[in-house]
Amino acid sequence: MIDAQEKQDLNDDMSVGCGPVLPVLGRDTTTLRQQVFEHVRAAGRAARADITRALGISAGSATTLTADLIARGMLREVEGLPREQGRGRPPVALEVVPDYKHVIGIKLSDEIHTAVLTDFAGNVLADASFKTLLPRKDINVALDEMDVLITDLLTESGKSMDQISAVGVGLSGIVDHNTGVVAWSPLLTTRDLDLKSAFAKRHDCPLHVDNDANVLTLAELWFGAGRDLANFAVVTIEHGVGMGMVLDNRLFRGARGMGLELGHTKVQLDGALCRCGQRGCLEAYLADYALAREAGTALDRGPRALQSPNAMLEMLYAQAKSGNKAASTIFQRAGRYLSVALSNVVQLFDPELIILSGERMRYDYLYAPSVMAEMERLTLSDGRPPCPVEIHGWGDLVWARGATALALAAVTDAALSDVRG
């Protein structure tokens, strides 16, 4: 559980709203009413005059649409915008009604699951964590552990399950967001699991599932550095290697919702064994289990050594920092593979920004100047400035907040799907 100050810091960010700031191009299926709502949510507070300018609509349309959203209980009028020079009352602003809906976001991991409960404005009301004893589990155990998190959130927030409008879940692996089927995950013992239907047998509440890298990308798009960027990539390095991509201010999932599995792109034919069962994947050279595998040799630890991968990695990093050449070579080699992957991302998508995140990014060898220089050398820049790369915090709560964005988007769509204006 996060402390009160950290939770306040998270919610202070909401003073400028949540959700993408830039409009999505080609919004054929989005109603003008929803565009008005999403503009207010992104701004935090907005006057009707701001809405007319931002969306290019008439003052009459803005008045009609905002009146409907107020009647639905989704927006409310507040005083709080600064008054322009001269006399007169401060302009009346609109903001999201926080208690209109509540959602839960969950990040499932191989060690510690995390979850948050937020209101409709994205404010964190409660958080919870659960240390799992089974890195891989069947569907019933996974649902039991999710139920523990949900119960803790409801207890802390004073809410009941019938007040929760949706639950968002992020987990590693190949996930079909549209159907809720997990085709494969290193966290689950079987393939092609319909997590959405299994959850529905326990709770009368919609579940929305996505790959955890997509969930983290949503966190950047809704709450972080990606809010005012049209095109950016997020690359995660933890127990696996993941990637999320925003194109034209929209999360890109591919034709079947299973795209951008960067960790399972091949960097070496017939190479090291990956946990997916194939060989030569990027992940097999860069993820923590791959580094721990190398560490066993560098530190002269036999395969029967009673140490967790995390403990092995911490020892490897300490040895590298103290001058152990074998240990530092492992990280440097991993950094070179990362530079290859990043150069390919730039070459394929030309993003405005690449964000590196995940627990392993605390190992500075992976983003050393030599890694960034290698990335630039491998990229056909044609004299253009190199793609900027930022290192962002990897706290588990960020992933869970991204899962709330998944739920909030679905709840918003459902609330406004009955009208076409």
CATH of the domain at 249: 3.30.420.40
Looking at the fold, whether 113 and 213 belong to one and the same domain comes out as: yes
Q: In angstroms, what CA-CA distances link 33 with 37, 67, 74, 227, 312? A: 6, 10, 11, 21, 54
| 8 Å CB contact between 268 and 280 | yes
Looking at the fold, whether 245 and 286 belong to one and the same domain comes out as: yes
pLDDT along the chain (421 residues), means of 10: 56 70 68 95 95 96 97 92 56 94 96 96 97 92 98 98 98 93 94 97 97 95 94 92 94 81 91 91 91 81 62 88 92 94 95 92 88 94 88 83 97 83 47
Which residue(s) pair with 181 in the sheet? 176, 194
| 8 Å CB contact between 235 and 283 | no
Looking at the fold, whether 75 and 119 belong to one and the same domain comes out as: no
Q: Which domain holds residue 384?
A: 226-391
Map residue 419 onto helix, strand or coil.
Answer: coil
Looking at the fold, whether 188 and 274 belong to one and the same domain comes out as: no
pLDDT on residue 355: 96
The domain boundary residue, chosen from 99, 121, 143: 99
Looking at the fold, whether 68 and 196 belong to one and the same domain comes out as: no
Q: Is the dihedral of CA 126, 131, 137, 140 positive or negative?
A: negative
Looking at the fold, whether 129 and 240 belong to one and the same domain comes out as: no
pLDDT on residue 301: 65
Looking at the fold, whether 115 and 91 belong to one and the same domain comes out as: no
Tally of domains in the chain: 3
Looking at the fold, whether 284 and 370 belong to one and the same domain comes out as: yes
Looking at the fold, whether 132 and 250 belong to one and the same domain comes out as: no
Distance CA 379, CA 184 (A): 32
The domain boundary residue, chosen from 48, 73, 99: 99
Looking at the fold, whether 361 and 379 belong to one and the same domain comes out as: yes
Question: Does some domain include residue 421?
Answer: no
pTM of the model: 0.89
Q: What is the dihedral of CA 375, 379, 385, 390, to 10 degrees?
A: -30
Which residue(s) pair with 237 in the sheet? 241
Looking at the fold, whether 268 and 319 belong to one and the same domain comes out as: yes
pLDDT on residue 26: 55
Query: Distance between terminal CA atoms of the chain?
Result: 42
Distance CA 10, CA 5 (A): 9
- C-alpha neighbours within 13 Å on the C-beta side of residue 6: 9
